[in-house]
Each structure stands twice: as C-alpha cells, then as structure tokens.
Structure 1
Amino acid sequence: MEETIPVIDLENLSDQSECKKLRDACEKWGCFRLINHSIPLTLMAEMKMVIEALLDLPVEIKKNNKDVIARSGYKAPSDVNPLYEALGLYDLGSSQAMQDFCSKLNVTPYQRQIMESYGKAIHDLAVKIGEKMAESLGIFGVDFEDWPCQFRINKYNFTPEAVGSLGVQLHTDSGFLTILQDDENVGGLEIMNSSGSFVSVPPFHGSFLANLGDIAKVWSNGRFCNVKHRVQCKEATTRFSIATFMLGPRKGNVEAPIEVVDHDRPRLYQPFVYEDYRKLKASNDMHVGEALELLRLV
C-alpha cells in the first residue's frame, strides 16, 4: 500500500484527537496537508493567475526583483536547477516591502489587491498553524505574529528532454514553517519519509501543504522533523507553486522553549539568530539540514 502524507482538518483542530494527529504528523513526517483552512478557493485561483502573469514577464523586468537577504529576490535558472526560476518578497507583512515588489515588477492595481489579500490570509494561516503546533507540545502563548514570512513564487519550465530529471534538488527549508499552494494540475513534489524512501505528494485541489523546516526541529528541541523534499519533472509542461516561509523570530534567538527542555531531554542546540543560521547553511553549501549539526550541544 502506497504511503500518503497526513491530512489535517483545520476546522477540527480544537478536537484532542486531531491535535494529536497534528503532533504525530510534525514528529513523524514533518509535513501535512491542510483542508478546511477557510482561504477562499476563488482567492487561491486568482493568486495563481497573478503569479503566472508575473513569472511570464520579460527577464529584464524580473531582474528588478532584487535580493533583500540572499535568495529572496529573482532567481534565474542555474546550472544546479536549470528548469527552475522564482520571484520573491522577503517580508510579506511589510507594506513597504509589498510596495517595492509591486512597483519594480509593474504590478497592476488589481494584481496588487489580490497579492495583499492573499498575503494577509496566508500569513494568518501560518500564525494559526504555528500556534497549534506549539500547543500540541504543551506550549501556549507563543506570539508568531511578528515572525517574518518570506514569499516565493516558483515556475518550473519542464521540457520533454527533462522528464525524469530534478526540478529542484533535495533540500530542507531553513525556516520554521512553509505553507505551499502547490500546482493543482501538475505533480512532481516528493518528500523523504523516516526510512529514507521518497513519497509522492500528488496534487490536491483546494488544499495547502505545510512543510516543517530546520528551525522547527531546533525550536521543538528535536521533537519535530525537518522534512527533506525535492521536485521531479514528471511531464513536459509548466508547473507553478506559491510558497510562504515563516522564518524565525524577528528579534532575539532561535531556541527551544523551556517547556520542551528537561533533565531527560537536555537542550540539543545552542541558541542562534535565524539570519546567522541561514548564512551558515549557505556558506557551507549544506542543503538538507546538515548545518544543524554544527550547532549541536549534545
């Protein structure tokens, strides 16, 4: 029987069994599908049309989308990922950042309206999921509102010659939580399970995919799994996705709360600033969470 990733019903998260299901998904998989998330399907569809239009802009215009931090702006196809390109917005919650992004890409007033509505809805969803993840560990009152969310819209230019090759190499996300609106028509996303086998994540209309990153593993003191994932080219077509990355605390250190540290489970990682970790991962060319080993205490 083929494995499938867990599905979490947001409308039922007040139920104890659904909350336990969420914790199990975080610990064993590091990812889960979100249904009944309350973001309108019409807004999701409109947002997809907006990102397709932006990613179809001439390269000269897309290059105006500059990095704020590394890899936060336009990413052109490269030798490592020749089929992939992306546009990015570093701080989704900043009206100034949104204005800069829109003005440099000649975004229309209608497109900006859709982006702002979607951005607020997806940020609120990420905060809610973060709170529920914390509560599943017995941690209450964490303020995820101020954790910056990076926004990235992705395009995979899959050609007949590329079928069977990688769209994006195997990696873990650096941040705490990623909310992904995947392409509802074109598959290719695969996650690695605990035994090291790849599990296909097929399209699922109207849902979001939540992926836990390296910061979730540190913050949970090793309880949560930072999921390894990749994108495979399965067919010769164009594939789009919309990713929102909740990164880490805007101020202060990334560190496990005292509720998950005790005599039997001492603190596993030294406290650090998120941006320092991201730079450490990039400078060592580490893609699948190996950089966390450089910060281990035990």
Structure 2
Amino acid sequence: MKDLCDKLKSVFFKSINMPEPIEAIEKEERYYALHLNSYPPCPNPTQTMGIPPHTDTLFFTILHQSGNVSGLQVHKDGHGWVSVDPHPGALVVIVGDLLHILSNARFPNALHRAVVNNEQKQRLSFAYFYGLPLDFQLSPYLDYPNCEGPCFKSLKVKEYASLKVKYFNSALSFIKKSG
C-alpha cells in the first residue's frame, strides 16, 4: 500500500507541475496508518452516526469499502450529502488537508462522513492514511498560471496537526490568508 501511495503522491505533484520535494520527504519518517471500521446493522439509523463529518488531516486517504453496503457520504456544494457506493475491487482516494494546503487549494479536501444503515449486513471499511514527515514545511505551491498568491500561511506538518487536534474542522481557518 505504501508503494501505491508513493506513486499517487508523485502523480498529484506532477499534475500541478510541482517539483516533488523527494529529499525533504524521504529523509524523515512519514506517517502511515491503517484504520479498520466496522458498522453493524442498525435498526434505527437516524438515531446514530457512524463517523461525523470531517476532512482528513493527512496528505490523502485510500479507502476500501467491502461488500455492497453503502455508508460513505461526501458533501458536494449545492447538492448536500452524496453517497459513494462501493464497487468491487475499487478504491476511493480522499484528498486530505495537507495536499489541499500544498496545492494552494487546487485539490479540494473532501468533507465526508460515514452513516450507519438498517440493512441486515455489517459494513466494513479499511482506511489507509498517508502522511508527510512531522517536520515537513507545508508551503502552498504558487508557480502556476493565474496564481493570485498563497491561500494559506506556511507551517510545519506538526503545527497543522496541533491545530487540527485543537480546532478539528475549523483548523484551516487559522492558516487561511485573507484575500
């Protein structure tokens, strides 16, 4: 999974013509985590939430949804919550806050949640979180046409992680630059 993530990271950098900071990323330990989620059938799904709305802190998340039971929802402006139905053999890539910051908001981070279901099946998901070294300097990439300056202040990954722990989904507002 790490190799897939390293390749995806390179694809993201290349797609915005950003030189990949390989040396800065490779010299330190990156953060990886595998999170297994189990959602049992719920007779009254309106009374509980699987995982509340949030954006992922790290660079990106690769998610596998097992079976045919829906539960992942992404918030789409103008449409509200949209279900992301599972497809056999498919993976979902969720852009995280770190990629959102580095890309100067050209890759939007995804507000998403997990809801429970009243089907008679258990839902399982496997989330692989891919991060950057804690001392990596997050500086929005600005070398692209029509760039109007940075959307965010520069800071280290560990500084942003501290903001996220303290302010959760409001963390980005503390580093946004006013236009």
Question: Would you call these one fold, judging by a TM-score over 0.5?
Answer: yes
**2:143 & 2:133 partners in 1: Cα distance?**
18
Deviation string 1:11-66 (CA, Å, 9 cap, x unpaired) is xxxxxxxxxxxxxxxxxxxxxxxxxxxxxxxxxxxxxxxxxxxxxxxxxxxxxxxx
Matched, 1:241 2:121: no
Q: 2:156 — aligned with what? A: 273
Whole-Å separation in 1 of the counterparts to 2:139 and 2:67: 36
2:50 corresponds to 1:170: no
Gap change, CA 1:265 and 1:147, over 3 Å in 2:
farther
Distance between the aligned counterparts of 2:128 and 2:69, measured in 1? 19
Q: Supply the distance in 2 between the matched residues of 1:231 and 1:297 (Cα, whole angstroms).
A: 31
Q: Which residue of 2 aligns with 1:251?
A: 135
Gaps of 5+ in 2: none
Aligned letter for 1:138?
A: N
Provide closer, same or farther for how the CA distance between residues 276 and 165 of structure 1 changes in structure 2, counting only shifts above 3 A: same
Deviation at 1:162, TM superposition (A): 3.2
Q: 2:93 aligns with which of 187, 210, 214?
A: 210
Shift in Å, 1:156: 1.6
Equivalent-residue separation in structure 1 for 2:95 and 2:131 (angstroms): 10
- For residue 250 of structure 1, report the CA deviation from its aligned partner: 4.0
Query: Which residue of 1 is the match for residue 9 of structure 2?
Result: 130
Give the Cα–Cα distance (whole angstroms) in 2 for the partners of residues 223 and 238 of structure 1.
36
- So what's the TM-score if we normalise by structure 2? 0.85
Deviation at 1:255, TM superposition (A): 1.6
Query: Could you tell me how far apart the structure 2 residues matched to 1:208 and 1:263 are?
Result: 33
- Which residue of structure 2 aligns with residue 190 of structure 1? 73
RCO comparison, higher one (Cα < 8 Å, 6+): 2
Quick one: structure 1 residues 263 and 185, their matched pair in 2 at CA, closer, same or farther if it must change by over 3 Å?
A: closer
What is the identity percentage for the equivalent residue pairs of Structure 1 and Structure 2?
Answer: 26
Structure 1: stretches of 5+ with no match in the other structure: 1-121
The answer (yes or no) to whether the contact 2:61–2:129 under 8 Å persists in 1 is yes
Kept in 2, the 8 Å contact 1:164–1:232? The answer is no
Larger Rg: 1
Letter in 2 for 1:166: M
CA shift, 1:163, in A, is 5.7
Are residue 230 (structure 1) and residue 136 (structure 2) matched?
Answer: no
Instruction: Identify, as 1 or 2, the structure richer in strand.
Output: 2
Deviations 1:239-285 (A, max 9, x none): 1111111122343312223535x88421221122222222212222x
Return the alpha-carbon distance in structure 1 between the equivalents of residues 19 and 41 of structure 2: 44
Structure 2 counterpart of 1:291: 171
Q: Is the 8 A contact 1:188 1:200 kept in 2?
A: yes
Alignment-mate amino acid for residue 52 of structure 2: Q
Query: Is 2:39 aligned against 1:156?
Result: yes
For the aligned residues, what is the CA RMSD?
A: 2.2
Deviations, residues 164-209 of structure 1 (Å, cap 9, x unaligned): 7421111110111101111232211111113252211111000100
Determine if contact 2:55/2:112 at 8 Å carries over to the other structure.
yes
Length, aligned pairs only: 173
Q: TM-score, normalised by structure 1?
A: 0.53
2:104–2:142 CA contact under 8 A, matched in 1: no
User: Distance in 2 between the 1:263 and 1:200 partners?
Assistant: 34
Secondary structure (helix, strand or coil) at the match of 2:88 reads coil
Counterpart Cα distance in 2 of 1:204 and 1:297: 39
Looking at secondary structure, tell me which structure has more helix per residue: 1
